[in-house]
Amino acid sequence: MEKYLKIIQESFSGYFNYLVQEITNPSWTNYFYWLIGLSLLVWTLEVLIPWRKNQGAFRKGFWLDSFYIVFNFFLFSLIGYNAISNVGVELFNDFLGLFGIENMVAINIQGLPVWSQLLIMFVIADFIQWNVHRQLHRIPQLWEFHKIHHSVKEMGFAAQFRFHFMETIIYKSVQYIPLAMIGFGIQEFFVIYMFSVFIGHLNHANVGWNYGILGYIFNNPKMHIWHHSKELPEAHPYGMNFGLSLSIWDYLFGSAYVPKNGKNIEIGFEGDEDFPEDFGSQVLFPFINRSKSTQKIK
Ligand SMILES: [Zn+2]
Ligand SMILES: [Zn+2]
């Protein structure tokens, strides 16, 4: 027990020191400045070459989403995720230890060149995330959390980070075991992470791009807007275009759907008129709505 408390305490102070360090020491592998840089870059594109010309630079929800960026990127880790995940990993290893398992690496890819390790990790993680995202839409209890992301009514880059903190916990827990089996721990790989943040920003940006032929590999703004469509086609009652960084899974497994230019489609979800519009109520929403949601089918 003492061991776990110590981990919690060290996670908090460790993360706090790390954050101060990040802000005061700009470097080429600095999360803080890369996040700001990428956000400014994509925002500039929205201003210079807007897809929806009538949408302001400070669209509806801009400030709310900016707060979500700060919260989900930094504060949530600072407040608890770091501690929860460190304890989780330790508990899990102790649990494996009960069966005499010390190492769960099944396929060791550490011997491969770094670029191929990164590529393997990126593709596997993205495929797992695609599956998790589908479940967020299919399982009613999970959908209550995921509604926050779909409550965006005007799309802009910052919308990427409008999501409930439970999503971080769900995504990371599901990914943990498969990634650990090929020898990756909970640490993020800087390049992969920043690359996915960049693609995610663009997916939500007010920029009319689909990258041509590359759009069948990478998710893109013209495809992801359909994921946010309020009206769902009969063939896809739970939604479509579930890809995060890659669109290839949707094309492979038949969930891709881009019927026409989605520039001006209505985005949101059935019943979003009654969805709260401030951070506090949105975060509490799934917990309060839980009892009601169990019998309801989306
Ligand atoms: Zn979704
Ligand atoms: Zn989205």
Residue 2 is predicted with a pLDDT of: 77
Name the CA dihedral angle for 195, 199, 200, 203, rounded to a multiple of 10 degrees: 180
Of residues 97 and 39, the one with the higher pLDDT is 39
267 alpha carbon, closest ligand:
2
Confidence check: pLDDT of 149 > 80: yes
What pLDDT shows up at residue 298? 45
Tokens of 57: 């630079």
Is the pLDDT reported for residue 180 higher than 90? Answer: no
- Give yes or no for residue 132 having a pLDDT over 50: yes
What is the structure's pLDDT at 288?
Answer: 84
For residue 223, the CA-to-ligand 1 centroid distance in Å is: 13
Between the CA of 16 and the centroid of ligand 2 the distance, in Å, is 29
Residue 174 confidence (pLDDT): 86
pLDDT digit string, tens, across residues 72-89 = 887 776 565 666 667 677
Pairwise pLDDT comparison (84 vs 150), residue with the higher score: 150
Please write the tens of the pLDDT for every residue from 18-74: 778 878 888 888 888 999 999 999 999 999 999 999 998 899 999 999 999 988 887
DSSP assignment letter at 44:
H
Dist. CA 183 → ligand 1 center (Å): 29
Query: Separation of 157 CA from ligand 2 center, angstroms?
Result: 9
Q: Is 40 exposed, middle or buried (0-12, 13-18, 19+ CB in 10 A)?
A: exposed
Mean pLDDT of 261-276: 93
Whole-number average pLDDT of the chain:
87
pTM: 0.86
What local confidence, expressed as pLDDT, does residue 188 receive?
A: 61
Residue type, 249: W
Given a cut of 60, whether residue 186 has pLDDT beyond it is no
Identify the pLDDT of residue 104.
64
Residue 184 Cα to ligand 1 middle (Å): 26
- Give distance in angstroms: CA of 161 to centre of ligand 1: 12
Closest ligand relative to 224 C-alpha: 2
* Nearest of 161, 134, 144 to residue 276 by alpha carbon: 144
